[in-house]
């Protein structure tokens, strides 16, 4: 992780979207981060967003971001802002392009879907950013525009793991945040029960329930040893952590665990589009947001991807033709 960090905050001009700003400001304070406020002009944009006037002109977007930047700067954060003045048809792709171009360490995105959080998150700009962005994305649930946003002071940070090297790719960023925010890492792994075995193992579980139950019990012991080993490694790096193995359906158990412990942040690695359709299918992130209110930081397992350069005046945004 570079020092200082760079945090990108996309905004649409609504108070709901501004729910991401306090967390970005806290990261600036704790991690020496520089915040970039971003507004992307949308081609054919609606006249209002979340019941408020939509920022459709460059001048009003500049004035809006300048005002927010001044407010954050009075609290000591390093901040700049940028308006992508050429209207685009794919706002999420432009956000991902800016994140790459600026080498952002984290993109903080507010999710605001009203009562239907799944529809608000998945099928929205937030989901599109998750699918294509090659930078960590921090999702902040905001259902209304409060007068005062609660402080971002997580006492515990949950890291969802599955004993694979790819899932451990979330640990460096989670560890850095734990150190700088003074939080404890909770390393959580879910092992299915006989009743919650899914996928290719279902036929085996039905035919050989005793054998399957014994294998799952053995996996629970292995998971406990795995988490204990990780905690020792983290302790040697000065990061306080504790491991916990839960039994049941992974989605439900992660949501329940985060709610029970009141985690202030949940961190997990994801394959982006593939991950959302696999590990994070049926809206794990949305369920956690709905049940715990904890922000969720998804760390991408980066693979070769198409060029996401910011479209120029004469270019049609990639993928919108």
Tens-place pLDDT, residues 120-171: 444 477 777 877 888 999 988 876 555 566 788 999 999 999 888 888 999 9
With respect to residue 73, please indicate whether it lies within any of the assigned structural domains: yes
* Joined tokens for residue 242: 């504790």
Question: In a 10 Å sphere around its CB, with 0-12 CB exposed, 13-18 middle and 19+ buried, how is residue 24 labelled?
Answer: buried
Residues 265 and 167 both lie in one domain: yes
With respect to residue 317, please indicate whether it lies within any of the assigned structural domains: no
Q: Which of 141, 165, 185 is the last residue of a domain?
A: 141
Q: What is the pLDDT of residue 152?
A: 87
Residues 277 and 195 both lie in one domain: yes
Q: How far apart are CA 32 and CA 30, in angstroms?
A: 6
- Strand 48-49 and strand 52-53: the pairing is antiparallel
Q: What is the pLDDT of residue 148?
A: 62
Cα–Cα distances in angstroms (integers) from residue 267 to residues 173, 174, 222, 285, 303, in the given order: 9, 7, 22, 10, 19
Residues contacting residue 200 through CB under 8 Å, at least 6 positions apart: none
Q: How far apart are CA 245 and CA 267, in angstroms?
A: 16
* Joined tokens for residue 144: 């209304």
Residues 135 and 170 both lie in one domain: no
Residues 89 and 225 both lie in one domain: no
Residues contacting residue 166 through CB under 8 Å, at least 6 positions apart: 269, 271, 301
Q: What is the pLDDT of residue 48?
A: 62
Q: Which of 95, 114, 141 is the last residue of a domain?
A: 141
Number of domains in the chain: 2
With respect to residue 149, please indicate whether it lies within any of the assigned structural domains: no
With respect to residue 311, please indicate whether it lies within any of the assigned structural domains: no
Report yes or no: 218 and 191 within 8 Å, Cβ to Cβ: no
What is the per-residue burial (b if ≥16 Cβ within 10 Å, else e) of 119-145?
ebbbebbbbbbbbbbbbbbbbbbbbeb
Vertex 131 angle, CA 6 and 37, to 5°: 30
Cα–Cα distances in angstroms (integers) from residue 297 to residues 101, 109, 185, 270, in the given order: 20, 10, 14, 10
Residues 94 and 34 both lie in one domain: yes
Highest mean pLDDT pick, 44-58, 73-87, 172-186, 301-315: 172-186
> Coil, strand or helix: which one is 37?
strand
Report yes or no: 150 and 165 within 8 Å, Cβ to Cβ: no
Q: Which of 141, 175, 202 is the last residue of a domain?
A: 141
Residues 170 and 37 both lie in one domain: no
With respect to residue 60, please indicate whether it lies within any of the assigned structural domains: yes
Residues 46 and 123 both lie in one domain: yes
* Joined tokens for residue 269: 């690695």
Residues 14 and 58 both lie in one domain: yes
Range of the domain at 120: 6-141
Provide the mean pLDDT of the chain: 80
With respect to residue 70, please indicate whether it lies within any of the assigned structural domains: yes
For residue 94, what is the domain's CATH number?
3.40.50.620
Residues 98 and 164 both lie in one domain: no
Report yes or no: 112 and 120 within 8 Å, Cβ to Cβ: yes
To 10 degrees, what angle do helices 91-101 and 125-132 make? 40
Model pTM score: 0.83
Residues 133 and 210 both lie in one domain: no
Q: Spell out the alpha helix ranges (H) of the chain.
A: 21-31, 58-73, 91-101, 117-121, 125-132, 171-181, 202-207, 209-236, 250-261, 273-277, 284-292
Q: What is the pLDDT of residue 274?
A: 39
With respect to residue 308, please indicate whether it lies within any of the assigned structural domains: no
Q: How far apart are CA 132 and CA 270, in angstroms?
A: 12
Q: What is the pLDDT of residue 300?
A: 83
Residues 186 and 277 both lie in one domain: yes
Residues contacting residue 73 through CB under 8 Å, at least 6 positions apart: 79
Could you report the per-residue pLDDT of 15-54, keeping only the tens digit for each? Answer: 888 888 889 988 888 888 899 999 998 887 666 666 666 7
> Coil, strand or helix: which one is 14?
coil
Q: What is the pLDDT of residue 52?
A: 67
Q: What is the pLDDT of residue 5?
A: 85
Residues 120 and 17 both lie in one domain: yes
Highest mean pLDDT pick, 117-131, 164-178, 224-238: 224-238
With respect to residue 198, please indicate whether it lies within any of the assigned structural domains: yes
Q: What is the pLDDT of residue 286?
A: 62
Residue 238, pLDDT > 80, answer: yes
Instruction: Please report where in the chains the tokens 């529809």 appear, as a residue.
Output: 119
């Amino acid at each position: 992780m570079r020092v200082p960090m760079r945090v990108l905050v996309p905004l649409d001009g609504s108070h709901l979207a501004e729910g991401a700003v306090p967390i970005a400001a806290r990261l600036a304070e704790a991690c020496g981060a520089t915040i970039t406020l971003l507004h992307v002009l949308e081609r054919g944009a609606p006249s209002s967003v979340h019941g408020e006037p939509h920022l459709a002109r460059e001048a009003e977007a500049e004035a809006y971001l300048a005002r927010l930047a001044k407010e954050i700067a009075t609290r000591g954060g390093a901040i700049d802002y940028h308006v992508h003045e050429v209207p685009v048809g794919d706002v999420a792709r432009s956000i991902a392009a800016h994140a790459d171009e600026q080498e952002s360490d984290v993109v903080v995105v507010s999710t605001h879907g009203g009562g239907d959080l799944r529809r608000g998150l998945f099928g929205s700009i937030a989901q599109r950013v998750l699918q294509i962005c090659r930078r960590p994305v921090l999702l902040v649930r905001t259902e209304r525009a409060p007068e005062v946003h609660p402080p971002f002071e997580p006492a515990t940070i949950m890291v969802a793991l599955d004993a694979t090297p790819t899932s451990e790719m979330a640990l460096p960023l989670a560890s850095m945040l734990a150190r700088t925010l003074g939080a404890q890492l909770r390393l959580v792994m879910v092992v299915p029960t006989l009743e919650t075995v899914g996928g290719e193992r279902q036929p085996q579980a039905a035919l050989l329930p005793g054998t399957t139950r014994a294998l799952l019990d053995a996996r629970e012991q292995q998971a406990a040893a795995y988490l204990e080993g990780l905690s020792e490694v983290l302790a040697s790096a000065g990061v306080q952590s504790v491991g916990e193995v839960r039994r049941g359906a992974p989605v439900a158990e992660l949501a329940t665990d985060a709610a029970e412990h009141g985690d202030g942040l949940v961190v997990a690695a994801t394959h982006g589009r593939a991950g959302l359709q696999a590990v994070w299918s049926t809206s794990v992130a949305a369920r956690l947001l709905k049940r715990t209110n904890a922000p969720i930081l998804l760390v991408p397992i980066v693979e070769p991807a198409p060029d996401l350069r910011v479209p120029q005046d004469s270019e049609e945004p990639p993928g919108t033709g």
